[in-house]
Structure 1
Amino acid sequence: MKTYNSNHAWKELNELLPEKFKMKADNLPVEEVWTWNGNQIHLDRYPNPDAEYRIFLHHGVGTNGRQLNMIFGHKMAELGYDVVAMDNLGYGMTEVNQKDITYDSWVHCFADFVNMETKRDPKKAVLYGLSAGGMICYNAACFIDNLSGIIGMCFLKNDDKVVGKRTAKYGSTNWIAFPIMNFFNSLGFKRLKIPMKAVSKMNYLTNNDRALKIFLNDPASAKADVQMQFLYEYMSYKLPIPVNEFDKCPILLTQPMEDKWTPLELSERSMKGIKAPFTIKHLDGAGHYPMEEKGLEQLIEYSDSFIRSLAK
C-alpha cells in the first residue's frame, strides 16, 4: 500500500499552515485501502465509533485527501466527528489498475464508497468537497441512498459554458478546444494524459506563494495528469438530478472571499433555483485552498454549526 510517508509535499504544506491547524505527528489519520473495480483506493481516516455523523471528504483536481484532512478533517475529528478522506483515481496515494478513467468513474467511485460505508456502519453521512470536489459531492449524492447534508467550497455546473470560460486556463478558446478533444477521443486518443495544471487556473489554487510552488510540483495533487476523456467529460457532465429537482439534503456553501479561481457568482449561477435548503457562508480573507487562519476557523465553525442543525 502506498502511504503518505513517501510524499513530502503535504509535510511542507503543513508547516505553512497556522500553528493551530498544523497536523501533529501524534494525530495523523489512519491510512487504509478500499478495493474498487480492481483499484486500490487510498483512504485517510479519523475513526470515531461513538460519533453520530461521518464526514466524507473529496478533493478537487489540484488537491488530495491528505490535504483536505490538513485544513478540515483533523479539526472536525477533534470536535467528535468520524472523518474519512478519499483519494480518487489518479490522485494522492491511490493505485489505479483500470485503463479508462472518466469523470463518471470519480462520481460513482465516491458514491459507491459512501453507500458501502453507511451500510457497514450506519452513521449519518455528510459530504465535504473542496473546489471541483464540491460538484463531485453533488453529483455523487444523486446516487447515494442515505445522506444528511453536503458542504462545499464551491459548486460549479460542469457543462455551463460561462463557468467553463471563467475557470479554464485559456477559457476564451473553449469553443474550439472542446470539439477538438471530442475528435481526438473518437480517434482513440481518449487515454492521452494531459497535465491538469496546463488547462486549469492552477496558479490560483492558493494565495500563499510558497505553498503554490509546492502544490505545482506535487504529482499527487496539482501536478497530476488526467486522461483526455476525463477532461472532456469533466467539462460536459450533465447533472444526474437538475438543481431545481434536487431535494435530497440541505447544502452549505463555504465560499472563500479571496478566491481568484472560483468566485461566489459562479456557484450562485450553478445552483440558482435549487430545491434543497441552500446556505452560503463567507470565509473572510481566504483563498481557493484556504490557508488563512480566520478563514479556516470560520470553515470549521460554520461546518460544525451546519451539521448540528441537521439533527434539529
Structure 2
Amino acid sequence: MSQTPESPPTYATHDSGWRRVQSLLPGHLQLGAANAPMPGEEWLDMGTFRVHLDCWRRPEAPATLVLVHGGGGNGRLLAPFGAMVASLGYEVVAPDLPGYGLTQVSDKRSLVYDDWRDTLAAVLETEAGRSRRPLVVFGASMGGMLAYDVTARTRLPVGLVSTCFLAPKDPEVRRRMVRWPWMSGLAGPMLTALPFLTDSLPVPMRLAGNMLAIANTPELARAIASDPLAGGTWMPGRFLRTFLESEPLVPPESFDVCPVLLTHPADDRWTNVSLSRPFFERLRVPKRLVLLENAGHFPVEEPGISQLRQALLDFLAERGAVVGATPAS
C-alpha cells in the first residue's frame, strides 16, 4: 500500500457528507475526541480499482481488525468503531468497497457483487502479508455476509464478527431490506429477467434499500442516506442482481475457519435479529450472540456501543490478541 503520486482525494480534503454524519454522533464517538483518533489514509491498487482505506496503524499491535461496511456506508462511516478499537492499542483498516467512498473504479456500471468479494480478499491478503499478527474481520450490515464469505475463501482471519447475517435469497430478508415491502417481489425477478435492460441502470441506493432505517435518529439516518459517498450513492442494476442471486460460498454447517461473534443491535429497525438467527444457528464453530441494547442498525447508542466495545475486547483476547503481549514476529 502506498500513497499515489496523483494525490487522489482524501476524506481530509474531500467535501462530502461524512463531516455532517460525524457532527450528529455522540461526542465521544466523533473523530478527534479523546478516545477517537483520526485515521491515516492509504490506497491499495487492485487491477482497475484504486481502493481507499482508513487506517489506524499500530506497529506494536497484537492484532489487526478489518472493518467491512455494507450497502449504506463506507469505511469512514465505520470510523467510530475503528477509532474505538485503535485507541485500545489495536491496528484497524477500513476499506471503501468499489462504488462507495473514495475508491476509484474505471467503469462503475460494470460492477458485480464478486468485485466486493475480490476487493476484501485482496485487503485481507495484503494485511496478512504486512505482518504475522492475527487478523479479525468485522462486517456491518450486508458486510457481515461478505466478511463471512471472504473468511471462508481466504481462511486468513482468526475471528469473524458481524452485526447481522443477511441471506439475500431469503424472501423475508429481501422484504425487510428494500425501501417498500412491495418491491421485494418485483426487484429480483425484474433484474434477473431483463438484465440486458437493467444491468447498466444506475439505481439510487436510498430508493433500493430502506436507508432511512439505517439509524434510529432520523436526522442521522437522513445524513447517511444523502451522503453521495455512502447511502446517497448509486449502484448498477448488475451489482444488485448479482448480490440478490448470491449464496454463501460455504454452507454455515461446513464453515470451520474460526469462531464467530454476532453483535446484533437489539433495536434494529431495518434488519431484526430474527433475520440473522437462522444462519447463525446453523454455524458449528464456537460462537456467541451479543444483543446491543437500545442500539439501531448503525449501533451508536448507549449502552449498546459500550457493549460492542467490551464484546470486541473479549473476542480479541480470546483469539490471543491481548494488548501488552508481544506480537508474532
Match of 2:132 in 1: 122
Q: 1:59 aligns with which of 69, 72, 76?
A: 69
Question: For residues 155 and 270 of structure 2, what CA distance do their matches in structure 1 show?
Answer: 32
Match of 1:176 in 2: 186
Match of 1:147 in 2: 157
Offset of 1:98 from its aligned partner?
4.0
Match of 2:141 in 1: 131
Letter of the 1:113 counterpart: V
1:37 aligned to 2:47?
yes
Give the count of matched residue pairs. Answer: 310
Say whether the 8 Å CA contact 2:212–2:218 is kept in structure 1: no
- Aligned residue runs from structure 1 range 143-292, under 5 A: 143-185=153-195, 187=196, 189-292=198-301
Match of 1:3 in 2: 10
Q: Cα–Cα, structure 1 residues 189 and 166, in superposed 2: closer, same or farther, change >3 Å?
A: closer
Please provide the CA RMSD for this pair: 1.6
1:24 aligned to 2:32?
yes
* Unpaired runs of at least 5, structure 2: 1-7, 322-329
Q: 1:47 aligns with which of 26, 46, 57?
A: 57
Say whether the 8 Å CA contact 1:58–1:128 is kept in structure 2: yes
Letter of the 2:189 counterpart: P
Offset of 1:129 from its aligned partner?
1.1
- Aligned residue runs from structure 1 range 287-306, under 5 A: 287-306=296-315
TM-score w.r.t. structure 2 length? 0.90
Say whether the 8 Å CA contact 1:39–1:98 is kept in structure 2: no
Q: 1:311 aligns with which of 308, 320, 324?
A: 320
Question: For residues 20 and 268 of structure 2, what CA distance do their matches in structure 1 show?
Answer: 22
Say whether the 8 Å CA contact 1:215–1:221 is kept in structure 2: yes
Question: For residues 60 and 167 of structure 1, what CA distance do their matches in structure 2 show?
Answer: 12
Say whether the 8 Å CA contact 1:112–1:144 is kept in structure 2: no
Question: For residues 106 and 133 of structure 2, what CA distance do their matches in structure 1 show?
Answer: 30
Question: For residues 217 and 8 of structure 1, what CA distance do their matches in structure 2 show?
Answer: 10
Offset of 1:106 from its aligned partner?
0.2
Q: Deviations over 1:226-251 (max 9, x none)?
A: 11111111112011100010011111
Report % sequence identity. 31
Match of 2:4 in 1: none
* Unpaired runs of at least 5, structure 1: none
Letter of the 2:220 counterpart: A
Letter of the 2:64 counterpart: R
TM-score w.r.t. structure 1 length? 0.95
Offset of 1:135 from its aligned partner?
0.9
